[in-house]
Amino acid sequence: MKFFIDTADIEQIKEILPTGLVDGVTTNPSLIAKQGKDMRGIIESICEIVKGPVSAEVTATDYENMKKEGLYLSSIAKNIAVKVPLTEDGLKTCRELSNKGIMVNVTLCFSAGQAILAAKSGATFISPFVGRLDDINESGIGLIKEIYEIYKNYNFQTSILVASVRSMEHIIESAKIGAQIATLPPKLIKELFIHPLTDKGLKAFLEDWKKTGQKIIPDNG
């Protein structure tokens, strides 16, 4: 499973990049607004340090202006994936941009039926929002399973990009199903490292090693 980092904060991205865990980045208007900086500058900076897909979202809601914004965003860098909403005009824009060889991330997906439409419209990525479905007592992971099975049945090439991830369970269950990507907030990526038995085991190893009085690299080494 690939991990995209869900943030527009350059420093957060730089902090996690050395781990090799960042395969791409997703942003949205809310994440951009939090930075209080010029949108194009933020996106350019991210694309300079991240080689994988970087999602940048349109804010228009009608086809003509979505298309214009999408073409503009895609001109910022070669690894831009234009993010469009799962609406009729959004999918028309998806088809137009996909036909031009531009990556498209169709976002705000909440049903398998919507996911079918996105795949048929040429989406590179479909972003089902698992956490928001859980919030209304529907099964976000159940939706991932439905989409995966349908896409497999028809050999759709659209990748499932699990979004609105709130917990470790969302990550693990999505991976077990076979979703290709999860986009995670930086905090959740860091939580993946943590397990109390890891900390306990490391402490024991270091205490035992200290008793030997040795060093891996001798002082004269």
Examine the residue annotation and report whether 67 is marked as an active-site residue of this protein: no
Does 218 fall in a domain?
Answer: no
Give the domain range for residue 55. 2-195
Does 212 fall in a domain?
Answer: no
Does 129 fall in a domain?
Answer: yes
User: What are 131-182's pLDDT values in tens digits?
Assistant: 999 999 999 999 999 999 999 999 999 999 999 999 999 999 999 999 999 9
**pTM attached to this predicted model:** 0.95
Does 131 fall in a domain?
Answer: yes
Q: What is the DSSP string of the chain?
A: -EEEEE---HHHHHHHGGGT---EEE--HHHHHHHTS-HHHHHHHHHHH--S-EEEE----SHHHHHHHHHHHHTT-TTEEEEEESSHHHHHHHHHHHHTT-EEEEEEE-SHHHHHHHHHTT-SEEEEBHHHHHHTTS-HHHHHHHHHHHHHHHT--PEEEEBS--SHHHHHHHHHHT-SEEEE-HHHHHHTT--HHHHHHHHHHHHHHHHHT--SS-TT-
Does 211 fall in a domain?
Answer: no
Does 213 fall in a domain?
Answer: no
Here the CATH number for the domain that contains residue 48 is 3.20.20.70
User: What are 29-67's pLDDT values in tens digits?
Assistant: 999 999 999 999 999 999 999 999 999 999 999 999 999
Question: Looking at 37, 78, 83, 187, which residue is catalytic?
Answer: 83
Does 169 fall in a domain?
Answer: yes
Does 172 fall in a domain?
Answer: yes
Work out how many domains the chain is built from and give that number: 1
